[in-house]
Amino acid sequence: MQSRWRRSEFADLRNYIFGSSAAIITDVSLIVGLGSARTGKAPILAGLLTIAIADNISDSLGIHMYKESEGLGEKLSLLSTVLNFLSRLLISLTFVAIVLVLPMAQAIAAGLIWGLLLIVVISYLISRRNKDNPVKEILIHVLTAVAVVALSRLLGAAIADFVRTK
């Protein structure tokens, strides 16, 4: 029973979704927003790594406390926390690699494409699991992500213009 419980928890998509989608949208928004402010790679990498560690720990603690409040027990809460942390960390590190390897303009485009591709895959898996229309779910999630990224781009550009005029 113990090994079957662990296998089912590792296979449960819910243990990965929150962390993965949060990491994707946050990382793409940071790359696009700071990229539009023309900050260079160092601040973007620092931001991505800060998100990969500090924000990730914060969100994982929140998930852990939520799972405990549901009365799921210490082991299940800890497993959910660790799976969330690792999925988020791995996704964030893919964006770090993109920024490290590519020139900044290409990194922005590649990060955006990679992020949207990941959102599409996750949305498809969710819709399949819930027996929902995958096209509808993909459109909702992609449009939401695009809106957040567009807002980040506008904010980054506005801040850059404001700072330059001072």
pLDDT single digits (tens) 30-52: 999 999 888 889 999 999 999 99
Over pLDDT 70: what percentage of the chain?
Answer: 89
- pLDDT of the residue at 112: 96
Query: For 80-98, what is the mean pLDDT?
Result: 91
- pLDDT of the residue at 12: 64
Structure tokens at 148: 């957040």
Asked if 48 and 92 touch (Cβ cutoff 8 Å), the reply is: yes
- pLDDT of the residue at 75: 78
- pLDDT of the residue at 97: 98
pLDDT single digits (tens) 124-166: 988 988 899 999 999 999 999 999 999 999 999 998 888 888 6
Query: For 15-42, what is the mean pLDDT?
Result: 87
- pLDDT of the residue at 37: 85
Structure tokens at 31: 């790359």
Asked if 89 and 56 touch (Cβ cutoff 8 Å), the reply is: yes
- pLDDT of the residue at 16: 66
d(CA 28, CA 127): 23
- SS3 (DSSP) at 103: coil
